[in-house]
Structure 1
Amino acid sequence: MPENSTVPKILIVGGGYAGFYTAWKLEKHLRKGEADVTMVDPLPYMTYQPFLPEVAAGSIEARHSVVAHRRHLKRTNVLTAKVTNINHAQKVATITPPVGEPYEFAYDQIVVTAGAVSRTFPIPGIADNAIGLKTIEEAVAIRDRLMSNFDKAASLPAGPERDRLLSVVVVGGGFAGIEVFAELRSLASSLVGKYPELTFDDTHFHLIEAMGRIMPEVSLPTSEWVLKDLAKRGANVHLDTQLTSAVDGNVELSTGEIIPTDLIVWTAGVMANPTVVRGGDLPVEERGRIQTRADLRVGTPEAFVEGAWAAGDVSAVPDLSGGGVGGFCVPNAQHAVRQAKLLAKNVVAVLRGEDPKEYFHKNLGAVAGLGLYNGVFQSGKIALKGFVAWVAHRGYHGLAMPTWERKFRVVWGWWNNLWLGRDLVNLETVQNPRYVFEEFAARPRPAADAPAPAVTAPAAQATASDKAADEKPAGEKTAAAKPAAKKPAAKKTAETASAK
């Protein structure tokens, strides 16, 4: 689009679930040449986060749970960079690319969908030893770490070090924590059969939850059923317990118990992306989210900020259905995708001089996978458990995965696993791909000592003679010092003999 174009410019900050869907639907609703859409995200793909527990368990190929921006956004300008400042008073955003200098981007409408990041607390050792579950890279790293630990433990005798390698600690008893906990327990059960040196009882799984119950999204009886199901699979759930330290891999609990472990997964809450929220002049509420109205415009019910929109985990959208927490929509994929679809329609409506509509969505329920062939589903008073709930879980998320191309890849992978089994390939060395090349690569020899400075011929001869003399034994030095006296003596003896 030319610099002097009068076509409205729409800037989407964030290419996650809400951002991708907003751009995708804008392409559908905008007429050709009606607006210029630009989406900025530091990653070139959207991650379908509900699939991360299954990626961590090896049930879904990592690449299949992400959607490439440039493949599916045909008429959107995709920038792989960060938005580090929003000056909405001037309608200018600062874009910082991975290479090169930051620059300013002028816009007419801004859509903030920067998502959320893991929310942690200043607990000693967490920042250095734990790993979150918000990105595809984290899910892959969790899977590979667990598999590598089985390889190491199989070569060790029974003892503290082997117990440490085979211990997993998950912090947080919400949906994400329970799902990854159950999926990793299922993966470990599959791995044990491949290692004759190890048994199921050698593995230790601990879930730490500060509240008195797990999964607040479902009813209490349903959450209690999940606890019993996990207990049958040898899992240890610590309720009303806080993690106080994780220094050097030793997890210390508020009960005084210490759990040595090599894998700590942190799922205890999320917070709005602070880089975007703090780096701008848009209004923010007390929990650090962008203040958003029910029509998804930034602002309060009394007044809105012209030209600014927000959706997804980064926003505080009122839940008009009455089922939200604190009156706002909970940060999940179900709300993010529906808000994004409406947001795209509302932006187009405003560009055409029409009024935007308010977001209203009643929660359809909650569904979670608890490992292969096991799950839980809750919708109102209806609760499904076990295999039926697992089928509902896969059916719902299989349909919710954006684009038919990605749906097919995910379902095809599930079908293959049904007959071929879970893929147990460990690719942890991908994180250090040059280790073999570096080990055997030829390197230049160290540079030789610099040559001595050149000297004149007589001086060189003298230096050489002195050096030779210094290197000879003491007797040889004396003989070498009197060569002229010996030669005449030899000549005289020869002449005497000739005369006789």
Structure 2
Amino acid sequence: MTQENAPHILILGGGYVGMYTALGLQKKLGPGQARITVVDPRSYMTYQPFLPEASAGSLEPRHVVVPLRRVLRRCHVITGRVTSIAHADKRVTVAPEEGEPYELTYDTLVLALGSIPRTLPIPGLADNGIGFKQVEEAIALRNHVLDRLDIAASTTDEHARRRALTFVFVGGGFAGAEALGELENMAQYARKRYYPQIGAREMRWVLVDAADHILPEVGAEMGVYTVEELSKRGIEIRLKTFLESCENGHVVLSKGRPFDADTIVWTAGVKANPVLTESDVPLDGRGRVSCTPELRVTGLDDAWSAGDNAAVPDLTADDPDAVCAPNAQHAVRQAKLLAKNIAATLKGKQPKAYRHKYVGSVASLGLYRGVAHVYGVKVKGFPAWFMHRTYHMSKMPTFNRKARVVVDWTMALLFRREVVTLGRMRMPREEFRRAATTKH
């Protein structure tokens, strides 16, 4: 069979599931056995567990992303956004960065579109909030926090100073707690060494969550420890509290007095990519692709799915209706099995069911601080932080990126943390525009 006549496998999404599925398929299938296409709005995969360290300067942001074209050498990579899926016709519509949308046909479909932030219609959130799911957001947030320190140290306006030094994080899961912990740690480091004009108690860090506990993934006891640890650092923990409004940076919570803040970070959960609703594949009640234990889309032999956008039955749970949680631990393992199962079916073999008992979670709360609940063992402090780094370094794709991450950590031990802000990068033409419009 020639390359042109080989079955076309179309993978929608280049995140962890999409990239690892494509990587597995290009290893298991020869050029004459399949053509593989990957479609994603970005030309790289982001390893999200390392975003907090990238935002705090412990890791170079480029080292937490993997270029798709570099690792998927036998795949066709398209940088574009999927806008609709018509599986009955085996056709999807792709909108590229520039130019008109076009259609792609396929023989086998892999839905690995992942998730997007789950937001609420809160006044001011769209204009003033920032997410924490992509490397661009991590870089922007780091620059923004350091830029606020510059402003606070340079202004004589007390209201502007208080507003600049107030940082609000909404959502007490992994993303919120880790991002806040790392950035607060970085900001305090910068303040002590480079901003003598800012007092120790002037910075205000607030974590808001609607639940009565944070970090539910590590268990109630470790969640309580996390609250105590963050509170010792002067961080305000607002539990059973909702963000009601943040128009023009004026933060109104369901409890307590309103206040102003220049920094509002939204990490309150995720939802399956909404483009799935523009498809004819079966979805569950939460908009995720309904799957069999073999990672096949329910009722379809030529469509597969895994990761955050998939409802995969959890065969290790007591509840027969339980599905796997949308986390990195399941995504890592599902992606590898997905590649094996697709390759097996193309060779006339039977796919295997996904079965993985959740072993626990680890979380970093800043340099040398962390919590973990693994195999029933509860760990906190430096050992948990070290477990977090070790586990995620082992799961970082490609030896190249693993090596770069280790080098970054080693350099951080030998030299002081970089706390320079490149916030002006968001408007790189501003100085040139001023020069060009100045009267001569």
User: Which TM bucket (shorter chain)?
Assistant: over 0.9
Q: In the alignment, what sits opposite 1:342? A: 337
* Contact in 1 for aligned 2:360/2:376 (Cα 8 Å): no
In 1, the alpha carbon distance for the partners of 2:302 and 2:282 equals 13
Pair 1:420-2:415 in alignment: yes
In 1, the alpha carbon distance for the partners of 2:72 and 2:439 equals 48
* Contact in 2 for aligned 1:323/1:362 (Cα 8 Å): no
Q: In the alignment, what sits opposite 1:90? A: 89
Q: In the alignment, what sits opposite 1:311? A: 306
Cα distance change, pair 236–328 in 1 and its aligned pair in 2 (3 A) = same
**How much does 1:78 deviate?**
0.6
Cα distance change, pair 158–202 in 1 and its aligned pair in 2 (3 A) = farther
Pair 1:237-2:251 in alignment: no
SS of equivalent to 2:297: strand
The percent identity for this pair of structures is 48
SS of equivalent to 1:161: helix
Cα distance change, pair 324–414 in 1 and its aligned pair in 2 (3 A) = farther
Count of residues in Structure 1 that have an aligned counterpart in Structure 2: 439
Give runs of ≥4 in structure 1 deviating > 6 Å: 323-326, 442-445
**How much does 1:439 deviate?**
2.1
In 1, the alpha carbon distance for the partners of 2:78 and 2:63 equals 22
Deviations 1:341-390 (A, max 9, x none): 00000001111111111111111210111101111111142011111111
Alignment RMSD (CA, Å): 1.8
Amino acid at match of 2:243: L
* 1:48-197 pair list within 5 angstroms: 48-157=47-156, 159-193=158-192, 194-197=194-197
Deviations 1:190-240 (A, max 9, x none): 111111101220100000010111111122111111111111100100011
* Contact in 2 for aligned 1:109/1:308 (Cα 8 Å): yes
TM-score (norm 2): 0.96
Deviations 1:238-272 (A, max 9, x none): 01111111111111111142121000000001011
**How much does 1:87 deviate?**
1.1
In 2, the alpha carbon distance for the partners of 1:138 and 1:158 equals 28
**How much does 1:6 deviate?**
2.4
Q: In the alignment, what sits opposite 1:332? A: 327
SS of equivalent to 2:218: coil
Deviations 1:41-64 (A, max 9, x none): 110000000011111212111111
Deviations 1:130-177 (A, max 9, x none): 001111111111111100000000012473221110010000111111
Cα distance change, pair 40–325 in 1 and its aligned pair in 2 (3 A) = farther
* 1:378-417 pair list within 5 angstroms: 378-417=373-412
In 2, the alpha carbon distance for the partners of 1:323 and 1:365 equals 17
Select the structure of larger CA radius of gyration: 1
Q: In the alignment, what sits opposite 2:361? A: 366
Amino acid at match of 1:36: R
SS of equivalent to 2:387: helix
TM-score (norm 1): 0.85
SS of equivalent to 1:202: coil
In 1, the alpha carbon distance for the partners of 2:162 and 2:319 equals 42
Q: In the alignment, what sits opposite 1:227? A: 227
**How much does 1:295 deviate?**
0.5
SS of equivalent to 1:217: helix
Q: In the alignment, what sits opposite 1:33? A: 32
Pair 1:250-2:245 in alignment: no
Q: Return 5+ residue gaps in structure 2 as ranges.
A: none
Q: In the alignment, what sits opposite 2:259? A: 259
* Contact in 2 for aligned 1:182/1:371 (Cα 8 Å): yes
**How much does 1:440 deviate?**
1.9
In 2, the alpha carbon distance for the partners of 1:324 and 1:261 equals 44
